[in-house]
Chain A
Amino acid sequence: MSVPLTLLGLLEREPSHGYDLKRDYDALFGRGKQLPFGQVYATLGRLARDGQVAAGSAEPGDGPDRKRYAITETGRHVVDTWLAEPVEPEPHLQTVLFAKVTLALMLGKPAAAYLDTQRAAHIRRMQELTEIKRTGPLVDTLLADHALFHLEADLRWIDLTSARLADLAEAVKTR
């Protein structure tokens, strides 16, 4: 799961304080595991250093950090690239793919097209693995089989998610 990119994506909705970001992240992507405050502020610090977010001046208050963070043009570009690029097809991608689809729907970006790109990357990898099975020794075939079954599971999830996008978009927007 890519925490920095997901936080950056959340910031594309509207400028936020670190606390609000953490709360939204935990609710949407935490799956029962909370993001430590320290990690949120360290991440925001790195994103600011890299020019992907801009920190406003501190507001009066008690919190550890009362700055409001806003995404920059560079940051928007980074989010767009991340969403549109397929993830390297390897097993156990569910959290990354889930975060990308959810953010894309939230930001009104073409989630269906992203899923199509991901499907294409998966199929290409499955073709490569099948070629290994066709030409390689049996031991390689066993490893290729394992990867193929996991990629197939991803693909079925991609297909089902594609079919559910309209309902998902509603669910994400009404949060």
Chain B
Amino acid sequence: MNSPAATSGRMIETRHVAKNFGQTFALRDASLCVAQGEILAVMGPSGSGKSTLLHCMAGIYTPDQGEVLFDGQLLNTMTEADRTKLRRTAFGFVFQFGQLVPELTAADNVALPLLLNRTKRKVAYKTADTWLDRLGIGDKGARRTGELSGGEAQRVAVARALALAPKVIFADEPTGSLDTLTGEKAMDLMTGLAREQGTTVVIVTHDARVAAYADRVVMVRDGLLTPADLPSSPAGGPYGTSAPATASATAAAKGMN
């Protein structure tokens, strides 16, 4: 069932995932497929469970029920060491705050994950420079990130995520701390470059304008997942996308009405 052929094109899949925190149901019966190269936005108000979904997809949280698959591999049964390795090599992360080391330079910050993955120092810094350049901050490489503006720092974070050549980028409120124009530029760069690289992106946001950069939008409300946009083609069915894999939040969606 989990043979590579059966999962071809499916980068991340959750099957009936549930996660509780004490008595609180953060996420219920979340089933979703993200195709390779797809840019998916997960929208919802604060406290809706959208970040919990992202953390489950990225193997940061272990679901209480259900399964999470990355490229056909079951995350649930992996050892913590294997999951950590996966997060370090296959996943890139862009968060709202506090992800860069402020005392280090922009180039250091981008090179750091590469160095941790045993990339040669020279190669790591060359890659870092290339990505800082692509994000339009090639001249900021020697600056400490603590001295950069919010928009510049967020571009460093995007450069750091992309420099790893990850399979998937997980972005949690990536523009949350930025003004509208700076945030839009960061989104435009991140989604544009990810499309170029064929990188899958999962963006969690409460902001519809940010979500509109995605190929597909789903919503989480009170821990339940529903598709939030119209199918892109009539043949796609109620949860269709142009991509081979589709979201199947059928049970959850029916529960909403």
Chain A residues close to B by CB (< 8 Å) = 110, 112-113, 116, 119-124, 126-127, 129-130, 133-134, 148, 151-152, 155, 159
Which 8 A-B pairs rank lowest in CB-CB distance, beginning with the nearest? Answer: A126-B212, A130-B212, A123-B229, A120-B230, A124-B230, A113-B257, A127-B212, A155-B208
A152 touches B229 (CB 8 A): no
CB-CB < 8 A to B229: which residues of A? 120, 123-124, 127
B212 touches A148 (CB 8 A): yes
By secondary structure, the B interface counts as mixed
Most buried by B among A113, A119, A129: A119
Q: How far is it, in angstroms, between the C-alpha of A113 and the C-alpha of B257 when the chains are bound?
A: 6
Q: Is B211's CB within 8 Å of the partner chain A?
A: yes
A123 touches B209 (CB 8 A): no
- Contacts between chains A and B (CB distance < 8 A), count: 49
Q: How far is it, in angstroms, between the C-alpha of A155 and the C-alpha of B211 when the chains are bound?
A: 12
CB-CB < 8 A to A134: which residues of B? 188, 192
A120 touches B256 (CB 8 A): no
Q: How far is it, in angstroms, between the C-alpha of A155 and the C-alpha of B226 when the chains are bound?
A: 16
B213 touches A130 (CB 8 A): yes
Within 210-226 of B, Cβ neighbours of A (below 8 Å) are at 211-214, 217, 219, 226
Q: List 24 A-B contacts (CB under 8 A).
A: A112-B256, A113-B257, A116-B226, A116-B228, A116-B256, A116-B257, A119-B219, A120-B229, A122-B208, A123-B211, A123-B212, A123-B228, A124-B230, A126-B212, A127-B229, A130-B209, A130-B212, A133-B184, A133-B188, A134-B192, A148-B212, A151-B208, A155-B208, A159-B45
A134-B188, A159-B45 known; A123 and B213 CB under 8 Å?
Answer: no
A120-B228, A124-B229, A134-B188 known; A152 and B256 CB under 8 Å?
Answer: no
Within 159-201 of B, Cβ neighbours of A (below 8 Å) are at 184, 188, 192
Nearest CB of A to B252, in Å: 12
CB-CB < 8 A to A148: which residues of B? 209, 212
Given contacts A119-B228, A148-B212, 18 further A-B contacts (CB under 8 A): A112-B256, A112-B257, A116-B226, A116-B228, A120-B227, A120-B230, A123-B217, A124-B229, A124-B230, A126-B209, A126-B211, A127-B217, A130-B209, A130-B212, A134-B192, A152-B208, A155-B208, A159-B45
Nearest CB in chain B to that of A151: its residue: B208
A112-B257, A123-B228, A123-B229 known; A129 and B212 CB under 8 Å?
Answer: yes
Nearest CB of A to B134, in Å: 16
CB-CB < 8 A to B226: which residues of A? 116
B256 touches A121 (CB 8 A): no
Nearest CB in chain B to that of A124: its residue: B230
CB-CB < 8 A to B214: which residues of A? 127
CB-CB < 8 A to A113: which residues of B? 256-257
Nearest CB of B to A89, in Å: 11
Nearest CB of A to B78, in Å: 34
Nearest CB of B to A153, in Å: 10
B209 touches A152 (CB 8 A): yes
Q: How far is it, in angstroms, between the C-alpha of A122 and the C-alpha of B213 when the chains are bound?
A: 14
B208 touches A123 (CB 8 A): yes
B208 touches A126 (CB 8 A): yes
